[in-house]
Amino acid sequence: MHASHILALDQGTTSSRAIVFDADGRVCGLGQQEIRQFYPHSGWVEHDPMEIWRSQLATARTALRNASLSAADIAAIGITNQRETTVLWERATGRPVSRAIVWQDRRAAAICERLRADGHETFLRQRTGLPLDAYFSGVKLAWMLENIPGARAAAERGELAFGTIDCWLTWQLTGGALHRTDPSNASRTMMFDLQTQDWSDELLACLDIPRSLLPEILPSSALAGQARAEHFGGAIPLGGIAGDQQAATFGQACLQPGMAKNTYGTGCFMLMNVGTAPRLSTQRLISTVGWTLADGRTSHMLEGSVFVAGAAVQWLRDGLGLFSQAGDIEALAASVADCGDTYLVPAFTGLGAPYWDPYARGTMVGLTRATTRAHIARAALEAIALQSADVFDAMHLDSGVALTELRVDGGAARNDLLMQMQANFLGIPVVRPRELESTALGAAALAALACGLWQDEQEVAARWHAEKCFEPRWSADQRLSKLQRWRQAIAISRQWQADAG
């Protein structure tokens, strides 16, 4: 086969990236561009959908150029994306009717409260596996239909299309020929029934959303449509789609029940494979689809979503000016032996799992005259690991499975100090792979399976290799004491915005 490479499009919260992988899963070329963040009101976060598309196309062309390859060398394209971010556009023109509402955005909290007051919370949870929260794209879409002038009328006339970012990119790549998503993204919308694996008319009625807005749901690994020749100098088949965290789980080869990974990016996302049937959480975690293969086999996950992780480091860099480069935080934090009993709760847009408090706000406690910027930097790193420890404990209670290791990826996984903190706070080994591009690799793997470049999942597992293992150094008592102190800080941050009126 002449076309022996895969192009992975990795559209994230802070940047668009593209990576070319060869048939052995090695990186051959990369392109990346940051995208702008818009914060028009407290708790609101927006992106420009056209900027997302232009930047993603530009990075894909850059990755091909850096790999010295052309469209003829690419067997398929895999897409992975920031999830829950919601786009609404005109079918006739492909023009967005507004900025995209980003997954971090909390403006739909009032709609969630209304649904809760109307008694829909249990129904929604049982059907979707999701807590009733502004995080999910269905309530963001409901907000758009209620608040964008003319949107509801246009939607009811069939003139508008809804999609998460994977769907938006697919539409643009195919020139509007394909309005498609996959189960991993659909399961994050609050409009998808976990049991039937399809859109639910009852859920749509609950949210008051016209079905005509929705894309077709196809397997995560399946050939469907082509990127138009004008984009890359030749048509390329589209072969794989998965939300970024599910793609990372696939790329980390967490293919068997009981295996788990944590991604350290803008937020933190821990996913555990629970097998071929959904498992509803009793600990306020998310039950979600991991991926569906071309033969219909579906893997389900439990997930805990932490809204702010790397974004806290960005805030210390850009908002407070504590250092000039994000990578500088490790040395600064390591310059002190501990956090000096200072705790930072980075609830800038509320708290995710297992608290689901849209009204929590960022809090720093324990400050004294002895507190330095190094203590604050260390407290920020600890906050990332402590939030993940909360999710880990909830996951253990939910699954009844004692995890024996946690696989890690994402940009902050390069930080040895943070990874050692994580091992200490969890009490199990934390394993970092050689290839930290797990998200893009997962999308590439799904595309490689779809086009026949790879034959089965065992080829994914065979390409995973550990680079470093961080063994826990703390006693159980040390861990418990730290978590108890952390949860005191969490309690202070809760409901802050609601209490302010």
Check: CB of residue 49 under 8 Å from CB of residue 163.
no
Check: CB of residue 265 under 8 Å from CB of residue 274.
no
- CATH number of the domain at 274, please: 3.30.420.40
Which is nearest to 184 in space by CA: 275, 293, 103? 293
Binding residues for ATP, by number, are 13-15, 266, 310, 314, 411
Say yes or no: 199 and 324 in one domain.
Answer: no
How many Å apart are CA 320 and CA 323, to the nearest integer? Answer: 8
Distance of CA 69 to the CA centre of its chain: 29
The 3-class SS string of 267-321 reads: CEEEEEEEECCCCCCCCCCEEEEEEECCCCCEEEEEEEEECCCHHHHHHHHHHCC
Residues 6+ apart with CB under 8 A from 345: 351, 360, 362, 363, 364, 365, 383, 489, 490, 492, 493
Say yes or no: 289 and 409 in one domain.
Answer: yes
Say yes or no: 111 and 168 in one domain.
Answer: yes
Distance of CA 332 to the CA centre of its chain: 28
Say yes or no: 130 and 164 in one domain.
Answer: yes
> In this predicted structure, what is the pLDDT of residue 170?
98
500 is a domain residue: no
Say yes or no: 282 and 381 in one domain.
Answer: no
239 is a domain residue: yes
Say yes or no: 81 and 102 in one domain.
Answer: yes
List, in sequence order, every residue forming a beta bridge with 238; answer none if it has no partner. 77
> In this predicted structure, what is the pLDDT of residue 263?
92
52 is a domain residue: yes
Distance of CA 30 to the CA centre of its chain: 20
Say yes or no: 35 and 103 in one domain.
Answer: yes
* Helix orientation angle between 137-147 and 109-117, rounded to the nearest 10 degrees: 100
> In this predicted structure, what is the pLDDT of residue 437?
85
Binding residues, by number, are 13-15, 17, 83-84, 135, 244-245, 266, 310, 314, 411, 415
501 is a domain residue: no
> In this predicted structure, what is the pLDDT of residue 392?
93
424 is a domain residue: no
Q: Which two tokens stand for residue 5?
A: 């490479």
200 is a domain residue: yes
Binding residues for glycerol, by number, are 83-84, 135, 244-245
Say yes or no: 136 and 251 in one domain.
Answer: no
Tally the domains of the chain: 3
Q: What is the DSSP letter of 77?
A: E
Binding residues for sn-glycerol 3-phosphate, by number, are 13, 83-84, 135, 244
499 is a domain residue: no
Look up tokens 């290791």; give the residue: 405
- 389: helix, strand or coil: helix
Check: CB of residue 398 under 8 Å from CB of residue 279.
yes
Using DSSP bridges, classify how beta strands 180-181 and 216-217 pair: parallel, antiparallel or unpaired: parallel
- Domain residue limits at 133: 5-244
34 is a domain residue: yes
Binding residues for ADP, by number, are 13, 17, 266, 310, 411, 415
List, in sequence order, every residue forming a beta bridge with 46; answer none if it has no partner. 38, 101
Say yes or no: 344 and 294 in one domain.
Answer: no
Say yes or no: 229 and 326 in one domain.
Answer: no
Say yes or no: 259 and 351 in one domain.
Answer: no
Say yes or no: 405 and 460 in one domain.
Answer: yes
Which residue type occupies 357? Answer: D
Among 244, 260, 281, identify where a domain stops: 244
Q: What is the DSSP letter of 107?
A: T
> In this predicted structure, what is the pLDDT of residue 194?
95
pLDDT truncated to tens, each residue of the chain (501 aa)? 578 999 999 999 989 999 999 999 999 999 999 999 999 998 899 999 999 999 999 999 999 999 999 999 999 999 999 999 999 999 999 999 999 999 989 999 999 999 999 999 999 999 999 999 999 999 999 999 999 999 999 999 999 999 999 999 999 999 999 999 999 999 999 999 999 999 999 999 999 999 999 999 999 999 999 999 999 999 999 999 999 999 999 999 999 999 999 999 888 999 999 999 998 999 989 999 999 999 999 999 999 989 899 999 999 999 999 998 888 999 999 999 999 999 999 999 889 889 989 889 999 999 999 999 999 999 999 999 999 999 999 999 988 888 889 999 988 999 999 999 999 999 999 999 998 888 999 999 999 999 999 999 999 999 899 999 999 999 999 999 999 999 999 999 997 876 665
CA distances from 457 to 6, 223, 251, 254, 416 (A): 16, 17, 10, 10, 30
How many Å apart are CA 234 and CA 64, to the nearest integer? Answer: 12
